[in-house]
């Protein structure tokens, strides 16, 4: 089981000279979600290729347990079609800046219009605490529940019912 140790920041914009290494269109649906645990499925489209994943996350705070694995399109469709919910939709740019790799997410259907976040993952809590964000990053929203993807997804469901 992997550990997920990450920081998340709000963005109002980003530099034109970011190096984008990959772009993915992501549809994300939660099958179960509590304060300390979530189970989600994703449909990812990158360079015309579709892949599907299931991810279980457990814990709270800066370090959480994460298990992710590939699933088939049939299982994804079976799980999501019965729920009658709206997936969280976002474009993810994998970017490099100043020697670090980031996930820059442009959200398309959140209640918070124009939401853009950027995340960085760390190998240790020491790296997490030692990290200094670039000047163009906005507010550090790590751990703020209104910016956790499962909560963003939940808001979409409430807004459309």
Instruction: Give all domains of the chain, ordered by start, each with its CATH number.
Output: 2-159 (2.40.320.10)
Tens-place pLDDT, residues 48-70: 999 999 999 998 777 889 999 99
| 43 closest CA partner among 81, 93, 89 | 89
pLDDT value for 161: 63
pTM for this predicted structure: 0.93
**DSSP state, 17?**
T
Terminal-residue alpha carbon distance, the chain: 36
Tens-place pLDDT, residues 75-98: 999 999 988 899 999 999 999 998
pLDDT value for 83: 87
Could you give the angle at the alpha carbon of 155 between the alpha carbons of 32 and 37, nearest 5°?
A: 25
Q: What percent of the chain is predicted at pLDDT more than 90?
A: 81
Tens-place pLDDT, residues 39-49: 999 999 999 99
Q: Does residue 139 register a pLDDT over 70?
A: yes
Three-state SS at 147: helix
| 114 closest CA partner among 46, 12, 32, 1 | 12
């Amino acid at each position: 089981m992997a550990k997920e140790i990450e920081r998340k920041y709000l963005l109002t914009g980003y530099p034109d000279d970011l190096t984008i290494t990959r772009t993915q269109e992501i549809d994300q649906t939660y099958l179960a979600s509590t304060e300390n645990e979530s189970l989600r499925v994703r449909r990812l489209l990158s360079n015309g290729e579709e892949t599907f994943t299931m991810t279980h996350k457990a814990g709270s705070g800066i370090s959480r347990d994460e298990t992710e694995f590939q699933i088939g399109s049939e299982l994804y469709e079976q799980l999501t079609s019965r729920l009658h919910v709206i997936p969280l939709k976002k474009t993810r740019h994998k970017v490099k800046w100043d020697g670090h790799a980031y996930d820059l997410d442009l959200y398309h259907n959140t209640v918070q219009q124009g939401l853009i976040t950027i995340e960085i993952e760390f190998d240790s809590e020491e790296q997490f605490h030692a990290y200094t964000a670039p000047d163009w990053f906005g507010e550090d929203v790590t751990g703020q529940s209104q910016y956790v993807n499962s909560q963003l997804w939940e808001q979409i469901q409430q807004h459309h019912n």
